[in-house]
Amino acid sequence: MRWLLPLLAALMLVQPATAQDRMPPAPYAYTQLDDPELEEQARELMLTLRCLKCQSQSIADSDAPMAGDMRHQVRTRLAAGESPDEIRAWLVSRYGDYVSYEPQVSATTWPLFVIPIVLLLLAGTVLLRRVGKRGSVEDEGEEPA
């Protein structure tokens, strides 16, 4: 296998030129903010933003260059004093609702919020009906099994 090593070394040298013919990552793509509180806010926000080039991953969980750029945007904007909600709104205006994992109540998404409430009511009704039957068990006493 020794003959492989020079070859590998050569491969390593050319790799950056071939595989990385894109822009270098933005400064805050892989670097945290100095202020731990802001960084915590950034992380929380990034976990709820979709990496548009990936498959069901948030930008906090992705190696994709675009996710890196978006992380950079989130961190620099937070550092500049914008609130997480403002940044989300800005990203949504730019990329559409798809970018946010946190659906907002709207004309298209209302069933997402109404159906759980219906489920809650349904669950409550099922259980209440059982409470109603409670008396009947005790009245019947030792019915045959």
Partner 1 sequence: MIAEIGLAALWLAAALAVLELLGGFLGARDENNELTALVRPAAVMQGVLCGVSFLALVYLFAVTDLSVKLVAANSHSMKPLAFKLSGAWANHEGSMLLWITVMALAGGLIAFIERRLPEKTMMATLGTQAFVGLGFYLFILLASNPFERLSPVPADGNGLNPLLQDMGVSFHPPTLYIGYVGLSVAFSFALGALLTRQVTPEFARVMRPWVLGSWIFLTIGITAGSYWAYYELGWGGWWFWDPVENASLMPWLAATALLHSASVLAARDALRTWTIMLGVVAFSMSMVGTFLVRSGILTSVHAFAVDPERGSFILALLALYIGGALVVFAMRANTIAEGQRFALLSREGALVVNNVALSAILGIVLLGTLYPLLTEAFDVRVSVGPPYFNPVSAIFFLPMLVVLAVGPLLRWRTDNFARIKWPVIAIGVASLVALAVVLVFFDTSVLSLLGMGLSIGVAVASFLPLKGRAIRRVPLAVWGMCIAHFGVALALFGVAADTAFQKERLVAVSPGDTVEVGPWEATLASVSPVAGPNWTAMQGDIFVSYQGGEQTETLPQARSFWAPPGETSEVALVTRWNGQLYVALGNMAEDGRWQLRLWWKPFVTWIWYGGLLIALGGCLALVGRVVSDLRRRKAEQREEAMRTEEAELASA
Q: Closer to partner 1 by CB, 86 or 102: give it.
A: 102
Distance, CA of 96 to CA of 139 (rounded, Å): 60
User: How far apart, in Å, do the first and last CA atoms of the chain sit?
Assistant: 77
Which DSSP letter does residue 23 get? Answer: P
- H or E element at residue 26: none
Q: Report helix, strand and coil shares of the chain as percent, to nearest 5.
A: 65, 5, 35
| Span 78-137, contacts to partner 1 by CB under 8 A | 96-103, 108-109, 111-112, 115-116, 119-120, 122-123, 126-127, 130-131, 133-134, 136-137
Residues binding partner 1 (CB under 8 A): 1, 4, 8-9, 11-12, 15-16, 19-20, 24-25, 30-32, 43, 47-48, 50, 55-58, 60-63, 96-103, 108-109, 111-112, 115-116, 119-120, 122-123, 126-127, 130-131, 133-134, 136-138, 140, 145
